[in-house]
Structure 1
């Protein structure tokens, strides 16, 4: 088996962010109306208050000092992904060179400039023909022959924001000039200017000089006071997305999850601070406190760490110098020489023997360091280049722990002092992106009848897969061209445009054309590949029964082959059933936005001729369940079982903490943990999943759904869903893995029918060894077994508040694996004890600091019938009643 993407797929998906900072969902708080800021809605004739955040956007006309021919226009289409109509639904177009002039509150400080672009459809303007340059201040070229349409297409989002830090000026005003290219036009939707505090007041060190401990005096600093900058990346390492409204200093910056940029499989662990973090002299505007309250480290595996790096890779424009700002705050170490590491940028030593406690002199104290590096072409034909950041434990000082950490990272492109240039080339779509788009990159026309005006609404665009890192959306919609035989080429499009309904209505809300049938958001549908029914039939040999690999939900799962040699799993609903629509929609909405090593990838869907079909990566080794019970294919070793549980825990932890909103799976069980041909576990089936846009309440009130045997009793009683409901279900999975028996077995005595109840009773009575899988007898160390059982027990606590988080569960499982591989390594067990550790009730006066270090490490990355087993452990009924089930042992 192989997946449909290579191991660097995530890096490809986010490579376009190297040119544009993905500031999606940016909002503008009331500070935008303060004395040090100016926000303009270009093309608007009046001041407009944005009700979503209370900010007021001013009209731009009075700031135009050179304007031979500009036009105010309104967008014809409101993309659903727009965070607000302001400033995106109006624009100012320029058909000749035009200049804005803005007053500067403080010309001696840098000015933060943001340019908002929404390359949509405007009356009398073909946005794909727009090419222009933008020059700021004393001749700094920000954009050159720039196409916002190509940029949005490559970024796969409807709108984007360019962010710059302009060098201090000797003048009290700032000029911003738009220059259309020949026979073209320029446009802009919104402009923000904020007078900056002294964010860059120290010259950075050139990487490769002064990095070694023997040659520190040779450090070379690069003067940047006269350089302007463009923001390329801003990441919160090991933490979640931080929105502009939660930024510090009123700067309205967005901080993104770093996991998509991590190189290789060594993702490290995401850690939350176990000490109170304060700025302690560092200006609060440097970064929000949340950046310093989480970090990414390598973890507790000493023997592995000493031969490895924690590495991130970024795509950048070549032939520029880049400033990298490292944000550090070590909330664990209490003395020098406990954690010491080196920093490399493009294989150049930026810093050697970094000891954060020695640097700051105290625990949980934030600090920053700036370094610069020159990035050149590999060859004359390269349009983009890679920027590598690697951290490696330093062994020269014989530090107590072999580990590294990083809290945050910002990367800025520096202007060329000689040319005063920041402009890079227009972005291009990668080969991987082209493959996903099936080579249909040319704009496609979809015509919908607008009944209110009896005119045709023309929608053009190019479809593309979305960038997972920032929840961004497609520039415009595209329709699937069909030939009379229905065998048109594949493209990407909203699901409703392929329904059986022949009536297409124009939405008065967004201008989006909507058809009958299933309702899928545009961004979700466009981030998936659309398959015609003909393609699906060809892939599965017309749904040949010999290709059935599972029976689940409302239909069967088939093995298929697309694009010549790519194996896929095709989940087909029963065409005669009208049920499962919600699960079908939810599966697409969830998985189209998620990409993680331990989540099954959704490739695409088909909604054609009454069919509801989902296409996934093919998982060659099937479900976890079928490798546990008698008659299983292969007897799993204890290490394999641990590694599978760890992989599944990583996927669930990502759902709970790695996305913008908490995602609760709601149907965690061993049939929803699939295995690829390398035994990598992936969580699947998101048809019942729920997302909480506001988890401040701590729960989502919802009708109880799930699978009996795995169902959280607190959720069942209170009908209030939390992420701890997934933790309970995962605890059942852990006991299922340990005992290799079904979670419900009616053939057993009453007290033994439920595995969860029986396992807890045996654990309390110290008789759990009697029900453990006999295949594991004498093959598991007692320390490892104790840790595993203790973790499973805590997951099954009756009240969610008493259960650990998935991050804590993950850490415990990784520690159990470490105890299995290295029984003598008890670093994480505190004072050499191998007993369980209560992560939720810690008396900090009674445990040593090393225990705290270990305990707070964690990683980033009811159906109507229950599952009932007969004497042969085969499923008798139940899973037929849930659509979101890729593989079921009954079908094998």
Structure 2
């Protein structure tokens, strides 16, 4: 093994992902354990075809998330060029001749809604060296800023604008990028280390929104405190899930000879192994940060409570005394809302410098411990721009309290239905941006997470708006994980948004969220609540009323009067058509969240470009999921509610 193949020494420390400006030093005497060595795309490379070190380069199929795994371009005749960044022994040339990239679309805009994601099971409580291999194998990509993407490791930004051509200079040149990730200690012995690649949205020219990878290597680094590579014992659930059968265990217990053998072996191991480990590990030197180690072996300054919660991949525990200080002992003057779970207060930390939303459970509420635990379970694992961030919780003194980032602009419901007279209504562009953000959040839950989450309570009161009007989906107390469907005993949800098919069959699928989203889309368009109490029966339920207007051609009644004359006709057709598709009676007839997201983005394009359809983005047929409203109900006059093309 060449010196410096994985070690960097004093001259080239590595950044600690998510903890800038912390640096990590890896020396030749550091102990390392290979977790995986993957050739991304293509076939496995056996040891005899390595660069002389007899390494096996496995395929990545067992690690990539989801069925939509992109495409696998290859160029097996391409000469691979090595430079100082990537010496020839770094990896075989065939690693760089294949890759996995996102699915390509005309203009590439759809790729902005997706990540390419890999999961790697690793031991908790260690630092990991992650080496990524890149090589642009497409000769048509020759300029800087044509393909730029962001690298995320464990939901933290490792590199925001990685441009392979900027690093290599031209196609066919091998590149390596090294990062160090800290996987904190948790109750579980194993957890997943995530790798996400996402197209950078400000790429110029705006042609190739894409990301790709050619290879991945991950190494566990010896623990700083204990100076060893020994992982924690497997959890009980892991043991029970092994291949050992109960009758094998019984036979094993009946064998006195085997018992004697194990007892003797354990005795020798207890005495001999610690001595051997001490001898082997005595001189090992591992990560050498510049500051004193503190949390999970990480060298950082002691942050305040909020900074610590935001930096952690898992939510923090807040002492009740800090919660009371932040809310002035739950002062009613700081009350900003109430719900099924309880009351929400505006709190402040750091002398008022940081605002948070503090949700305090009502002890008389039906939404109790189960919803409290579910909220913590999901939001402590999820990180997305369109999901509310859970900073922590408190469960002292009989309290169940959740702490979130504060959303300056409140709920979407307030801006649609409780607007003050001096407050301008949301513009159509603002509403489209909110719809796209909500769809992106739902798309992440349905396709971008390991366990595929069904939210179950999508509604305008659970859509929060930050200071930049970015929507955040909140309230995961009813969420469930599992695909393709879940049989439930108790149907839960909100009246007006609840999927009728789920109510009748007790079968929960991701299409239940699509029904709720369809109601939200209508609510945003019409500014009518999902349920209107006191009107005639046919007007009580927004979905049923809108469907009646839709079938009768009374479209002007569905549109908020504040929007009349401001919506491009083609945009309206696409938007309303898909809202109605989401409300289909049978879940199988509803579109996927990916289709809805794609067409909301297209609707925004149509609105901004005055109805001009980008080439290759719309296919007018029933199977595409892009059937417009005018195809369903031809001959309807739009002049009263549409903005003329070109205005």
* TM-score (structure 1 length as normaliser): 0.45
Counterpart for residue 350 of structure 1? 168
The equivalent residue for 2:455 is: 665
CA 1:572–1:427 in structure 2 vs 1: closer, same or farther (change >3 Å)?
A: same
Task: Output the CA distance in 2 between the equivalents of 1:320 and 1:841.
Answer: 41
**Aligned-residue offset at 1:280:** 11
What is the CA distance between 1:769 and its match in structure 2? 1.5
In the other structure, the counterpart of 2:582 is 795
Determine the structure 2 residue equivalent to 1:541: 328
* TM-aligned CA distance change 1:226 to 1:830, over 3 Å: closer
Inter-CA distance 593–792: structure 2 relative to 1 (3 Å threshold)? same
**Taking structure 1 as reference, are residues 830 and 655 closer, same or farther at Cα in structure 2, changes over 3 Å only?**
closer
Cα drift, residue 491 of structure 1: 11
5+ residue gaps in structure 2? 1-15, 39-43, 78-91, 118-126, 149-161, 180-196, 226-294, 298-303, 628-647
Q: What does 1:192-231 correspond to in 2, within 5 Å? A: 196-197=45-46, 225-226=51-52
- What does residue range 771-810 of structure 1 map to in structure 2 within 5 Å? 771-810=558-597
Conserved 8 A contact 1:341-1:393? yes
- The answer to whether the aligner puts 1:684 opposite 2:477 as a matched pair is no
Give the alignment's Cα RMSD to 1 decimal: 5.2
Aligned to 2:403: 615
Of the three residues 10, 26, 29, the one matched with 1:144 is 29
Change (3 A) 1:630 1:292: closer
Distance 1:388 1:758 in 2: 40
Kept in 1, the 8 Å contact 2:102–2:210? The answer is: no
Cα deviation for residue 747 of structure 1 reads 1.9
Query: Is 1:410 matched up with 2:410?
Result: no
Change (3 A) 1:703 1:322: closer
| 2:624 partner SS | coil
The equivalent residue for 1:364 is none
| Aligned 8 A contact 1:786 1:836 in 2 | no
Asked if 1 retains the 8 angstrom alpha-carbon contact of 2:357 and 2:404, the reply is yes
CA contact (8 A) 1:724 1:803 kept: yes
Report what 2:246 is aligned to.
Answer: none
Residue of structure 1 equivalent to 2:394 = 606
Structure 1 contact 297–406 (Cα < 8 Å) conserved: no
Pairwise CA distance, 1:529:
0.9
Structure 2 residue 593 is matched with structure 1 residue 593: no
Q: 2:522 aligns with which of 711, 729, 735?
A: 735
Residues 1:566 and 1:290: Cα distance change in structure 2 (over 3 Å):
same
Whether the 8 Å contact between 1:295 and 1:407 is mirrored in structure 2 is no
The correspondence of residues 574-723 of structure 1 with structure 2, limited to 5 A, is 574-575=362-363, 580-629=368-417, 631-632=419-420, 633-692=423-482, 695=483, 697-723=484-510
Query: Does residue 756 in structure 1 map to residue 543 in structure 2?
Result: yes
What are the Cα deviations for residues 437-495 of structure 1, in whole angstroms up to 9, with x where unaligned?
Answer: xxxxxxxxxxxxxxxxxxxxxxxxxxxxxxxxxxxxx979xxxxxxxxxxxx97999xx
Residue in 2 that maps onto 1:813: 600
C-alpha distance in 2 between matches for 1:388 and 1:728: 28
Matches within 5 A, 1:241-640: 248=59, 254-255=63-64, 294=103, 299-300=108-109, 323-325=133-135, 341=146, 345=163, 348=166, 350=168, 352=170, 371-372=174-175, 402-412=207-217, 527-564=314-351, 565-575=353-363, 580-629=368-417, 631-632=419-420, 633-640=423-430
Match of 1:768 among 541, 552, 555: 555
**Corresponding position: 1:726 with 2:513:** yes
Could you tell me the TM-score, scaled by structure 2's length? 0.60
Looking at structure 2, the residues matched to 14 and 755 of structure 1 have their Cα atoms a distance apart, in angstroms, of 48
**Residue aligned with 2:605, SS:** helix
Which residue number in structure 1 is paired with residue 634 of structure 2? Answer: none
Q: Deviations over 1:536-558 (max 9, x none)?
A: 00000010011000011242100
Corresponding residue of 2:252? none
Name the SS of the counterpart of 1:605 in structure 2.
strand
Aligned residue pair count:
468
How far does residue 634 in structure 1 lie from its aligned partner after superposition? Answer: 4.0
Q: Give the deviation of 1:775 after TM superposition.
A: 0.3
SS in 1 for 2:453: strand
- Identify, as 1 or 2, the structure richer in helix: 2
Any conservation in 2 of the 1:341–1:403 contact (CA below 8 Å)?
yes
Looking at structure 2, the residues matched to 797 and 18 of structure 1 have their Cα atoms a distance apart, in angstroms, of 54
Once the two structures are TM-superposed, the CA of residue 836 in structure 1 deviates from its matched residue by: 8.2
Residues in 2 aligned to 1:228 and 1:346: alpha-carbon distance in whole angstroms: 28
Preserved contact between residue 346 and residue 389 of structure 1 (Cα < 8 Å): no
SS at match of 1:628: helix
